[in-house]
């Protein structure tokens, strides 16, 4: 069978002088059983590509279980890497080449529409001769079925080649595959070797050398056996600026440090935890501390205690954790304690889809607490913003004496992208806590009539003694049950949002500022996919534009004016909304996507929405098709 | 605090604090409530330790006892039901210079805050936890608490509380890294003072269960010990809570108990025929969490920026 494939139409002239075909971009996937290292392989490939000046976006394919059964479609674990000669902002459409460690894991990817006719499959062929007849039959049937799907399958003795170097191919096959794809995409082999040496630096030469050997043999193996060779020229806009490459959770972690926060108080939860894993590795060096609390509530309480004592702290969590923290977030609002809360959103409700993306915590973040609890909610649209928005969040939290929720999601958390290396600023760090005596004629909540803002005494400041309380309180933080105190203190806390909103600029329209047919409004991680599809349609002469919101509470100004310049405005979101044509659905009972609901209420404009909860990031192709339909409907 | 020294000179402190410096708002508990005794004692211990009022923080949850911060003139954090301990731990985490007190009750600590109780004891951060245990939910008017005696009629169990009452001493003693466990009735002022003073002196989390009178909702909770002191067992030891002879005289039942003896402490706690009074256990060597959490406080901005830059280098292309 191997022999046949090798001699088949698209394969291989051994040796021959191959020349690399230049392409503008390419999407590769590596899919395996859980624990075979496909993700490490893909991340390293992404790093190498970034270092070679390419635009890169990687997305992990994660099964929700730690050890799903081997060779099962549901157990597909892996990674997609999209590289290009341009800035890449999303996972793109179908992959063009996939390396698969077994044939079964491909089925779930095919079901997800990850591949198209002509997608090249480099498939481990050891299953063909497996002692278990059932496996042999499964394999043969699958290879046939893949061909029927239009996939171009090359069955390759990957394991056999690895066993020449290591005794257990399960550990190491990933580096062999890294060598293969490094060859196929003309990556500099030295960069690969360096990455491997870095990755295994703490394990020493005994581990580094065999992995480099595996990489080199994979490289030679592909050169010898495969006729595929592409070159993706560097992304050339500005290669002079120092660049870093991180995923969104690492960016959040770096942001926490660059913001000068000295404490992350957290409880493990997917997909947020890896942000803390990263910080835990390096926090000591900046004098910070990770507190792993006994539960989500305690994580928030601990952070709040530290913030009250003058050290604004950060808690990083995901949907179920947000639910548990709700009451304490309410206390932070009521008692005006600065607090940074990062919510790495995942599929909900309840345990939902822990490893997959959703943008469904918007309304619960803004309105989640019982009682009126005005707070700042912002959302990062790129991995770079995951870094900068943490710094912004701390500043806002302290300046407005308010909790700030930063929304990211599983797509940003695990996506990897190169971006301009931040130039650290001393003013990003928090100021040392003020321990000078407090002027005791100034109450602890000296609310400014115009803005609701006030300075707060920090424990240790003489004459500043006050009792923080979640009960309704006067400006001197005295418990007060009277009507006027409650009414005016609520007004002051709410006014802070209006004061912040007044400092914001209207969002920029990507496209026609003067207006046009269709305006797409997005927030969070969907920006890349939305803008890419809008750009393609605009290239075809369509009147479509987009704008992307970063501030959700308060909302950015000028929205009504911008919206009214377009024939139709719709949001695109990854949260559930009713299909207007679904059974029983009428204009009266249709449930809109979350941002759409807010914008409709705020602007009184008939804003539509398109939203899905497939658990994966939005693909530009999908959006293009949807936008085309909407544009046709508008113009007919 | 003022006094002549051997060389006839006088120490004059820049600031001298009187009880008035620790006074907060006017306490609004029911007449006869044991909380007043605890409040007065806290004021006295603070005064005698000459703690600058701005350096102490009194943290609480929700309940009658959790009003404590409002009645102490230091900084205070009146938090949420059950959450006093994580809040207090957070205050201490990066501010080891602050003197932290927690006021909590049997419902707040043993029920809704039960999870935090176990972990706070294990963190063993330097603070005093005063548990105002009256065996009832008072603020919400007479519901069963974990320490309500079996058969006690409450508004949630009008036919009588169903389960055996929880023994908070054995639970606390069973927690790894526990470092200070004491029990004291609120109606013995000298003993209450000495116990809270010892708790305040101890570096680590001092767990003080105070048998607290609630004449309105759970009069029967303390009565058996008020009326029959022989139902209490005074623990004496040179390393225990000091008690003057006239205090000792009130206790018919006494034993010598070395507070470093954990096994004996557990035995005493487990024997519910007598209510132990005094210091059950102390381990001055237990690990204190802020020794980890407060590391690196003195880093300069320059050092921080350099370290973050090094962190960024790892991601450089």
Domain regions of chain A by residue span: 2-231, 246-427, 434-502, 516-635
Q: What is the pLDDT of residue B3?
A: 58
Burial of A37 (0-12, 13-18, 19+ CB in 10 A): buried
The C-alpha angle with vertex A431 and arms to A427 and A432, in degrees rounded to 5, equals: 145
The Cα of B103 is separated from the nearest Cα of chain A by a number of Å equal to 13
Q: Which residues of A touch B92 (CB under 8 A)?
A: 305, 309
Nearest to B301 among A257, A426, A466 (CB): A426
Q: Please, how many CA atoms are within 13 Å of residue A565, restricted to the half-sphere of its CB? A: 18
Q: What are the extents of the domains in chain B?
A: 19-292
Q: Do A463 and B54 touch (CB under 8 A)?
A: yes
Q: Do A291 and B293 touch (CB under 8 A)?
A: yes
Q: Do A313 and B77 touch (CB under 8 A)?
A: no
Q: What is the spatial distance between Cα A156 and Cα A63, in angstroms, rounded to a whole number?
A: 25
CATH topology of domain A516-635: Rossmann fold (3.40.50)
The Cα of B127 is separated from the nearest Cα of chain A by a number of Å equal to 14
Q: Which residues of A touch B79 (CB under 8 A)?
A: 301, 331, 470
Q: What is the spatial distance between Cα A55 and Cα A64, in angstroms, rounded to a whole number?
A: 29
| Mutation choice for B interface testing from A235, A302, A340, A440 by most B CBs within 10 A | A302
Q: What is the spatial distance between Cα A160 and Cα A150, in angstroms, rounded to a whole number?
A: 27
The Cα of A85 is separated from the nearest Cα of chain B by a number of Å equal to 16
Q: Do A287 and B87 touch (CB under 8 A)?
A: no
Q: Do B90 and A308 touch (CB under 8 A)?
A: yes
Sign of the four-CA dihedral A254, A429, A303, A402: negative
Nearest to B119 among A298, A300, A331 (CB): A298
| Mutation choice for A interface testing from B55, B68, B94 by most A CBs within 10 A | B94
Q: What is the pLDDT of residue A16?
A: 45
Q: What is the pLDDT of residue A237?
A: 52
Tell me the three-class secondary structure of A186-233, residue by residue.
CCCHHHHHHHHHHHCHHHCHHHHHHHHHHHHHHHHHHHHHCCCCEECC
Q: What is the spatial distance between Cα A328 and Cα A331, in angstroms, rounded to a whole number?
A: 5
* Closest CA in chain B for residue A47: B317
Q: Do B94 and A263 touch (CB under 8 A)?
A: yes
Q: Which residues of A touch B119 (CB under 8 A)?
A: 293-294, 298
Q: Do A245 and B317 touch (CB under 8 A)?
A: yes
CB count within 10 Å of CB A350 equals 8
Q: What is the pLDDT of residue A74?
A: 86
Q: Which residues of A touch B296 (CB under 8 A)?
A: 262, 284, 286-289
Q: What is the pLDDT of residue B2?
A: 53
Q: What is the spatial distance between Cα A304 and Cα A418, in angstroms, rounded to a whole number?
A: 34
The Cα of A441 is separated from the nearest Cα of chain B by a number of Å equal to 16
Instruction: Give the orientation angle of helix B301-313 with respect to helix A248-258, to 10 degrees.
Output: 160
DSSP string, A316-331: EE-HHHHHHHHHHHHH
Burial of A488 (0-12, 13-18, 19+ CB in 10 A): middle
Q: Which residues of A touch B127 (CB under 8 A)?
A: none
Q: What is the pLDDT of residue B12?
A: 66
Pick the CATH number of A2-231 from 1.10.645.10, 3.30.300.130, 3.40.920.10, 3.90.480.20: 3.40.920.10
Q: Which residues of B touch A302 (CB under 8 A)?
A: 86-87, 89-90, 93
Q: Decide if A265 contacts A316 (C-beta within 8 A).
A: no
Nearest to B86 among A254, A301, A478 (CB): A301
Cis peptide before B245 (omega within 30 of 0): no
Nearest to B87 among A288, A301, A479 (CB): A301
Nearest to A305 among B91, B294, B316 (CB): B91
Q: Do A466 and B76 touch (CB under 8 A)?
A: yes
Q: What is the pLDDT of residue B5?
A: 72
Nearest to A421 among B89, B294, B312 (CB): B312
Q: What is the spatial distance between Cα A332 and Cα A198, in angstroms, rounded to a whole number?
A: 42
Number of cross-chain residue pairs from A and B with Cβ atoms under 8 Å apart: 200
Q: In the predicted model, what is the mean pLDDT of residues B86-111?
A: 98
Q: Do B93 and A293 touch (CB under 8 A)?
A: no
Strands of the sheet containing B180-185, edge to edge, are A467-469, B75-78, B56-60, B99-105, B127-133, B205-211, B180-185, B275-282, B232-236, B253-256
Pairing of strands A77-84, A55-61: antiparallel
Inform me whether the pLDDT recorded for B211 exceeds 70. Answer: yes
pLDDT, one tens digit per residue, over B114-159 is: 999 999 999 999 999 999 999 999 999 999 999 999 999 999 999 9
Q: What is the pLDDT of residue A84?
A: 96
Q: What are the C-alpha distances in Å from B77 to residues A322, B114, B315?
A: 22, 19, 41
Q: Which residues of A touch B177 (CB under 8 A)?
A: none
Strands of the sheet containing A376-379, edge to edge, are A289-292, A263-266, A314-317, A339-345, A403-409, A376-379, A551-553
Residue B6: which pLDDT band, with cuts at 50, 70 and 90? confident
Q: Which residue has the tokens 């680590």?
A: B204
CATH topology of domain A246-427: Rossmann fold (3.40.50)
Q: What is the pLDDT of residue A238?
A: 60
Closest CA to B251 of B236, B241, B239: B236
* Closest CA in chain A for residue B93: A306
The pair of three-digit structure tokens given for residue A365, joined into one six-digit string:
């973040």
For domain B19-292, is the CATH number 3.40.50.300?
no
Q: What are the C-alpha distances in Å from B80 to residues B110, B130, B216?
A: 14, 16, 24
| Mutation choice for B interface testing from A255, A278, A301, A314 by most B CBs within 10 A | A301
List, in sequence order, the alpha helices (H) in chain B. 35-49, 84-93, 114-123, 168-173, 189-201, 219-227, 245-248, 262-270, 290-293, 301-313
The Cα of B139 is separated from the nearest Cα of chain A by a number of Å equal to 14
Q: Decide if A456 contacts A465 (C-beta within 8 A).
A: no
Q: What is the spatial distance between Cα A143 and Cα A158, in angstroms, rounded to a whole number?
A: 16
Residue B8: which pLDDT band, with cuts at 50, 70 and 90? confident
**Residue stretches of chain A with pLDDT short of 50:** 1-16
Q: What are the C-alpha distances in Å from A44 to residues A93, A259, A281, B26, B118?
A: 22, 28, 19, 65, 43
* Closest CA in chain B for residue A302: B90
């Amino acid at each position: 069978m191997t022999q046949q494939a090798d001699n088949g139409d698209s394969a291989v002239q051994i040796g021959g002088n191959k020349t690399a075909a230049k392409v503008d971009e390419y999407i590769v996937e590596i899919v395996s059983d859980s624990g075979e290292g496909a993700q490490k392989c893909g991340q390293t490939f992404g790093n190498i590509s970034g270092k070679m000046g390419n635009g890169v976006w990687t997305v992990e394919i994660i099964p929700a279980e730690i050890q799903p059964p081997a060779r099962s479609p549901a157990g597909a674990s892996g990674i997609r890497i999209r590289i290009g000669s341009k800035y890449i902002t999303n996972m793109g459409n179908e992959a063009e080449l996939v390396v698969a460690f077994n044939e079964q894991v491909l089925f779930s990817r095919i079901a997800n529409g990850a591949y198209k006719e002509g997608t090249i499959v480099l498939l481990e062929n050891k299953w063909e001769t497996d002692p278990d007849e059932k496996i042999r039959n499964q394999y043969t049937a699958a290879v046939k079925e893949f061909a029927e799907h239009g996939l171009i399958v090359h069955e390759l003795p990957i394991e056999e080649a690895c066993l020449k170097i290591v005794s257990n191919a399960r550990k190491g096959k990933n580096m062999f595959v890294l060598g293969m794809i490094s060859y196929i995409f003309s990556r500099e082999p030295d960069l690969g070797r360096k990455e491997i040496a870095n990755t295994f630096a703490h394990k020493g030469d005994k581990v580094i050398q065999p992995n480099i050997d595996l990489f080199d043999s994979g490289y030679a193996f592909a050169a010898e056996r495969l006729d595929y060779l592409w070159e993706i020229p560097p992304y050339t806009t500005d290669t002079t600026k120092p660049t870093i490459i991180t995923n969104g959770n690492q960016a959040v972690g770096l942001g926490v440090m660059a913001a000068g926060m000295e404490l992350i108080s957290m409880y493990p939860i997917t997909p947020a935890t890896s942000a803390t894993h990263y910080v835990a590795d390096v926090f000591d060096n900046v004098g910070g501390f990770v507190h792993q609390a006994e539960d989500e509530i305690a994580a928030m309480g601990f952070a709040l205690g530290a913030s009250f004592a003058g050290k604004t702290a950060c808690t990083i969590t995901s949907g179920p954790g947000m639910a548990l923290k709700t009451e304490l977030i309410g206390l932070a609002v009521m008692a005006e304690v600065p607090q940074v809360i990062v919510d790495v959103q995942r599929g909900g409700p309840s345990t939902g889809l822990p490893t997959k993306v959703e943008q469904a915590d918007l309304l619960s973040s803004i309105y989640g607490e019982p009682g009126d609890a005005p707070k700042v909610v912002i959302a990062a649209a790129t991995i770079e913003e995951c870094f900068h928005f943490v710094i912004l969040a701390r500043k806002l939290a302290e300046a407005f004496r308010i909790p700030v929720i930063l929304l990211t999601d599983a797509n940003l958390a695990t996506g990897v992208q190169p971006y301009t290396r931040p130039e650290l600023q001393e003013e990003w760090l928090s100021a040392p806590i003020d321990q000078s005596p407090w002027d005791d004629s100034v109450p602890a909540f000296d609310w400014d009539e115009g803005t609701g803002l006030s300075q707060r005494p920090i424990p240790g400041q003489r004459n500043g003694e006050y009792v923080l309380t979640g009960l309704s309180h006067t400006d001197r933080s005295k418990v007060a049950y009277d009507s006027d105190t409650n009414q005016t203190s609520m007004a002051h806390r709410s006014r802070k949002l209006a004061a912040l909103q007044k400092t914001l600029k209207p969002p920029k329209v990507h496209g026609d500022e003067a207006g046009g047919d269709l305006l797409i409004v997005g927030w969070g991680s969907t920006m890349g996919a939305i803008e890419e599809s809008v750009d393609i349609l605009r290239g075809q002469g369509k009147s479509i534009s987009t704008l992307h919101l970063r501030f959700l509470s308060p909302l950015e100004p000028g929205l009504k004016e911008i919206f009214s310049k377009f024939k139709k405005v719709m949001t695109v979101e990854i949260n559930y909304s009713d299909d207007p044509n679904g059974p029983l659905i009428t204009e009266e009972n249709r449930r809109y996507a979350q941002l759409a609901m807010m914008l409709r209420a705020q602007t009184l404009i008939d804003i539509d929405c398109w939203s899905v909860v497939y658990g994966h990031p939005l693909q530009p192709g999908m959006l293009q098709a949807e936008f085309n339909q909407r544009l046709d409907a508008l113009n007919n | 605090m003022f006094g002549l020294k051997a060389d006839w000179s006088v120490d004059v402190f820049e600031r001298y604090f009187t009880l008035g410096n620790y006074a907060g708002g006017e306490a609004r508990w029911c007449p006869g409530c044991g909380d007043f005794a605890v409040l007065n004692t806290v004021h006295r211990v603070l005064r005698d330790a000459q703690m600058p009022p701005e350096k102490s923080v009194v943290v609480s949850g929700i309940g009658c006892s959790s009003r404590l911060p409002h009645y102490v003139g230091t900084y205070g954090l009146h938090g949420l039901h059950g959450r006093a301990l994580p809040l207090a731990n957070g205050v201490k985490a990066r501010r080891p210079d602050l003197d932290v007190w927690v006021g909590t009750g049997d419902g707040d600590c043993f029920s809704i805050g039960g999870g935090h109780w176990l972990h706070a004891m294990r963190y063993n951060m330097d603070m005093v936890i005063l548990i105002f245990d009256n065996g009832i939910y008072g603020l919400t008017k007479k519901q069963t608490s974990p320490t309500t005696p079996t058969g006690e009629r409450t508004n949630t169990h009008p036919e009588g509380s169903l389960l055996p009452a929880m023994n908070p001493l054995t639970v606390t003693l069973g927690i790894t890294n526990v470092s200070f466990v004491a029990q004291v009735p609120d109606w013995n002022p000298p003993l209450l003072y000495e116990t809270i003073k010892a708790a305040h002196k101890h570096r680590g989390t001092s767990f003080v269960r105070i048998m607290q009178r609630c004449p309105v909702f759970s009069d029967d909770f303390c009565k058996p010990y008020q009326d029959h002191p022989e139902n209490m067992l005074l623990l004496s030891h040179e390393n225990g809570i000091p008690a003057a002879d006239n205090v000792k005289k009130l206790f018919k039942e006494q034993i010598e108990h070395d507070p470093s003896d954990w096994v004996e402490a557990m035995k005493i706690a487990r024997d519910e025929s007598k209510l132990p009074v005094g210091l059950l256990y102390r381990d001055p060597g237990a690990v204190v969490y802020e020794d980890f959490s407060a590391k690196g406080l003195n880093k300069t901005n320059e050092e921080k920026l350099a370290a973050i830059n090094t962190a960024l280098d790892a991601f450089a292309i």
